[in-house]
Structure 1
Amino acid sequence: MNRTMITATNTLSQLQKQMDIASHNLSNVSTTGYKRRETSFSEMLVQQFNNHPNESPEINRMTPAGIRQGVGAKLGQSQMVADLGSLNTTNRPLDFALTTEGQYFRVLQQTENGASLRFTRDGAFYLTPTGQNENMLVTSEGHAVLDQNNNPIIISGDASNYKLLDNGRLQVQLNNGGSQEIDLGISLVRKPQFLEQVGGNLLGLPNDLAALNVTAADIYTDLNGQMSNGIALSQGMLEQSNVDMGKEMTDIMNIQRSYQFQSRSISMADQMMGLINGIR
């Protein structure tokens, strides 16, 4: 296989990964609180040929000396874009929208390895009965919403009204005339690039924090106590995804063109090798 085929083959596999990410963005254009991802490429291993043993004639040369031969490009980074999405008014009392970048609700996901802490921007919450006249606040996927102490939020009795107070505190009016106040568990994620998408519009901490030389405290901070003053939350609204459909469609078309170009390079290299092998 000649260098043209090697370069094109290496790049094709990376273009497929870029296509998968762009397609994933496009498929989540209507997902509440979804954050799109952007990709960037970097050059793979390059070989340098110094074909000018005498550099004196090259003093005024404007281009780099020698010949650089690469072996294709690779997907260097897939970065989450934390820009705010537009806000959609629902007037539903259990819909909440975080109006500041970097803030996330904390939820508990039950997995085959046990309960795991997750983060989400999707503030569409519901109630599910747990027995004994109690209801638990959950996400649309049924994951328990956590309070400031990372405990599932349990509402004792039947609720008649919900009111969002300052600092992320939810006041629940009960049918028996009483009330219950709950501090929603919200975290500020300073390094979202370390979070992994785990499905269901949830983000989780990586399993290899030690290998990445970071700790959970480096990635996020719980907005509890005095820090809850920074919580920006609106009731009766939901944040839409920040995916621009037009941009994603344009990116997909550009990726398809690049894919076709690399495929054509392989075909041309194969034809050239066939001509050479046919020479007698």
Structure 2
Amino acid sequence: MNRTMMTATNTLNQLQSKIDQISNDIANVDTTAYKKTQTSFNDLLTQSFNNQPSETKEKGRLTAPRIRQGTGAMISQSQLVLSQGALKTTDRNLDAAFTRDDQFFTVSVQDDNGVNTRLTRDGAFYLSPNANDQMMLVTSAGHKVLDENGEPILIEGNIKDIKILENGLLIVDTEENGEKSFGLGIVSVKKLQFLDRLGGNLLGLPKNFTALGVTEDDIMTALTGDSRNQAAVRQGTLESSNVDLSKEMTDLINVQRSYQFQSRAVTMADQMSGLVNGIR
């Protein structure tokens, strides 16, 4: 196959992945606490041709020696951007937002891999009744919100008031039992690059993180005991996504132009092949 066509095709596949990533960010511009993805490109393997066997003729050359021919571009890194989204006041006592960009709530999620602990910054919580006439704290998607011990938060009695303190303590005042406090499960992530985006505005540890030479404690720290004072939670507030729609649209236009350029390169390579094959 024509080398120009191969190079353009390699790049087209990667540009399509970039378009998909931008489209996903734009689709979640109004998703609570959604974090955008930043993608960077690198050249694929580059071949070097020695076009000048005599080094004496290279004296005074300002560019690097030899002729280098690339084979396209590839996505070298896709990384979550944890910059703080704008905070919007809701005055709802079950809404909570972090004011520090490295902290997450822990929730229990049941999927095809069983029951696992996941991370989210979406603090739009709700109360869901269970079979034991208790109220369970859940996310907007119905996932159980965990306390600092990794257990679901269950509330008994008729609720009069709910407070969420800055350090992440949930204080529930009921008619039967008075005030009772629960420590919301909060972790501080130190190495975001080891977390996987799992859909549904959730993050989790990769299946092979032990093979990467790191432990769970290296990646994140649970804020319990004295370290709970490091938590920064604001009640009656939700965090908006950190997606800048104008920037995403600009990036999308630039990627589309690159996609058109590579498509044109494939067309030109095909036309050149047709001309060569037509020579008698």
TM over 0.5: yes
Residue identity matched to 2:219: I
Give the distance between the partners of 2:145 and 2:60, measured in 1 at CA.
Answer: 67
Moved more, 55-64 or 1-10: 55-64
Specify the SS of the correspondent of 1:262. Answer: helix
Q: CA deviation at 1:212?
A: 2.0
- Whole-Å Cα distance in 1 between the matches of residues 48 and 116 of structure 2? 49
Name the structure 1 match of 2:182.
Answer: 182
TM-score normalised to the size of structure 1?
0.98
Q: Which position in structure 2 is the counterpart of 1:131?
A: 131
Q: Which runs of 4+ in 1 moved over 4 A?
A: none
Query: Normalization by structure 2: what TM-score?
Result: 0.98
Tell me if 1:199 matches 2:218: no
Alignment of structure 1 residues 139-218 onto 2, 5 Å = 139-176=139-176, 178-218=178-218
Which residue identity is paired with 2:141? E
2:144 and 2:152 in contact (8 A); partners too: yes
Mean CA deviation greater in 51-60 or 201-210 = 51-60
Give 2:56's aligned amino acid: S
Query: For the Cα contact (< 8 Å) 1:48–1:66, is it kept in 2?
Result: yes
Question: How far apart, CA to CA, are the structure 2 residues paired with 1:211 and 1:73?
Answer: 28
**One-letter amino acid matched to 2:77:** Q
Q: Residue type of the partner of 1:155?
A: I
Find the counterpart in structure 2 of residue 39 from structure 1.
39
Let me know the Cα RMSD of the aligned residues.
1.0
Gaps of 5+ in 1: none
Separation in structure 2 between the aligned mates of residue 94 and residue 76 of structure 1, nearest angstrom: 40
Corresponding residue number in structure 2 for 1:86: 86
Which is worse superposed, 175-184 or 118-127? 175-184
Farther off after superposition, 128-137 or 237-246: 128-137
For the structure 1 residues 177 and 208, does the alpha-carbon distance in structure 2 shift closer, same or farther, using more than 3 Å as the test?
closer
Letter in 2 for 1:261: F
Residue equivalent to 2:232:
232
Please give the alpha-carbon distance, in whole angstroms, between the structure 2 residues aligned to 1:108 and 1:177.
Answer: 26
Q: Is the 8 A contact 1:133 1:158 kept in 2?
A: no
- After alignment, is 80-89 or 197-206 more displaced? 197-206
SS at match of 2:7: helix
Shift of 1:257: 0.5
CA positional deviation for 1:164: 2.1
Distance 2:82 2:197 in 1: 14
Q: CA deviation at 1:132?
A: 3.0
Shift of 1:56: 2.0
Q: Which residue of 2 aligns with 1:15?
A: 15
Question: How far 1:131 sits from its partner (Å)?
Answer: 2.9
Contact 1:129/1:136, CA 8 A, preserved across alignment: yes
Q: Could you tell me how far apart the structure 2 residues matched to 1:274 and 1:132 are?
A: 75
- Find the residue that maps to 1:131 and give its secondary structure: coil
8 Å contact kept, 1:104–1:187: yes
Q: Which residue does the alignment assign to 1:109?
A: 109
3-state SS of the aligned residue for 2:198? strand
Separation in 1 of the partners of 2:22 and 2:154? 39
2:76 aligns to what?
76
Q: Distance in 2 between matches of 1:142 and 1:177?
A: 26
Following TM superposition, by how much is the alpha carbon of 1:200 offset from its aligned partner in structure 2, in angstroms? 1.2
Equivalent residue letter for 1:249: M
1:211 deviates by: 2.7
**Per-residue deviation at 1:177?**
5.8
Equivalent residue for 2:243?
A: 243
Shift in Å at residue 157 of structure 1? 1.2
Read off the aligned partner of 2:223 and give its amino acid letter. Answer: L
Please say if 1:30 is aligned against 2:30.
yes
1:173 Cα shift?
A: 0.8
Q: CA deviation at 1:166?
A: 4.4
